[in-house]
Structure 1
Amino acid sequence: MIENAKVRALKMIETCTEPEKLRTLIRNARKQGEEEIAHAATLRLYEVLPCEKPGTFEHDVWRSIHALEGTLTEERGKTTRLGRTRPKIARVGEQETVRDLILADKPSEGFHMLIDRHLSHLTFEAVALRHQDRFEEHVLDAAVRRLNSVDIAASR
């Protein structure tokens, strides 16, 4: 792709709010071998999919869920939903679900998947650290320890 076209595509992605347009961009970019554009459009897609208000804790949680589901769907070649996380959120809410996953003895498979794909900012641990007012000290400490355990610099 010509550099000017790439710059225009990246600028368009920054402001796009239509999931279908972003999905089309992702498909086309991958066909053309333009992984930078595909990656940027994918991250933007995860930003616009949640119904919750951007910047809120709930938006960040759903952005993480969409990212993990999108990754699983792409890798498996079929639509994949988080079969335990979504029902738990429906039962107890986002905050308790995030807290419980952070305090679990072992990191979830989703945590490792996001870390492996250089999406540490989308882990529930990172979400909790961005919304510290929602969590108790021991939860935040556990989030920092877990991120640090995989060489992601985190602090409170």
Structure 2
Amino acid sequence: MNDAITLRALALIEGTDDPDGLRKIAANARRQGNEVVARAAKLRLYSVLPSEEPGTLEYDVWQSIFALEGTLSEERDKTIRLSRTRQKISRDLEQQTVEDLVLGKQSEGFDLLVERDMGELTFEALALRHPDRFEAAILDAAKSRLSAAGLDEQGKK
């Protein structure tokens, strides 16, 4: 694809809230070898899937879950669900789940998101985006883990 087509596709993606349409755009872009458009469509998809209010911790948690599940499902060519994380959220809600994962041993989900250049979707980065929801110990642990992975506080390299 040339730059003009890519720019038009990116503009289309930005204005699309239809999950099926975004999935089709991503699949077509991958088939045509345009990873920039495919990635943009997938990231947009993960941002429209959560039913929670955008800007909330709960929204960010579900965006992260959808991103990791979608990426792993695509890579492994089968449906992957983060069953244990979903069960924990059902029991303890999103905030407690984030706290426990940030304070616990570094999770496989953290590593997988960082490896796929989606560090901004780690629970550590989410906690730092919502500092009013977490105690200082959790925020410090999140900063430390991101830093050790070579990421800034937003989860970027």
Which blocks of at least 5 consecutive residues in structure 1 are unaligned?
Answer: none
Q: Which deviates the most, 67-76 or 95-104?
A: 67-76
Corresponding residue for residue 125 of structure 1: 124
> TM-score of the superposition, structure 1-length normalised?
0.96
**1: CA distance between counterparts of 2:46 and 2:138?**
25
The answer to whether residue 138 in structure 2 is matched with residue 139 in structure 1 is yes
CA deviation vs aligned residue, 1:7-30 (integer Å, no higher than 9, x gap): 111001011000000000010000
Alignment correspondent of 1:19: 19
TM-score (norm 2): 0.96
Please show how residues 60-71 of structure 1 align to structure 2 within 5 Å. 60-71=60-71
Paired with 1:36 and 1:97, the residues of 2 have a C-alpha distance of 32
Q: Which residue matches 1:43? A: 43
Aligned-pair CA distance for 1:123: 0.1
Larger displacement relative to structure 2 (30-39 or 68-77): 68-77
CA distance in 2, matches of 1:153, 1:38: 25
Q: Deviations over 1:25-49 (max 9, x none)?
A: 0100000000000010011001000
The structure 1 segments of at least 4 consecutive aligned residues displaced by more than 4 Å after TM superposition are: none
Length, aligned pairs only: 154
- CA distances 1:113-134 after superposition (whole Å, capped 9, x unpaired): 0000111100000000000000
* Distance of 1:153 and 1:7 partners within structure 2: 28
Query: Aligned-residue CA RMSD in angstroms?
Result: 1.0
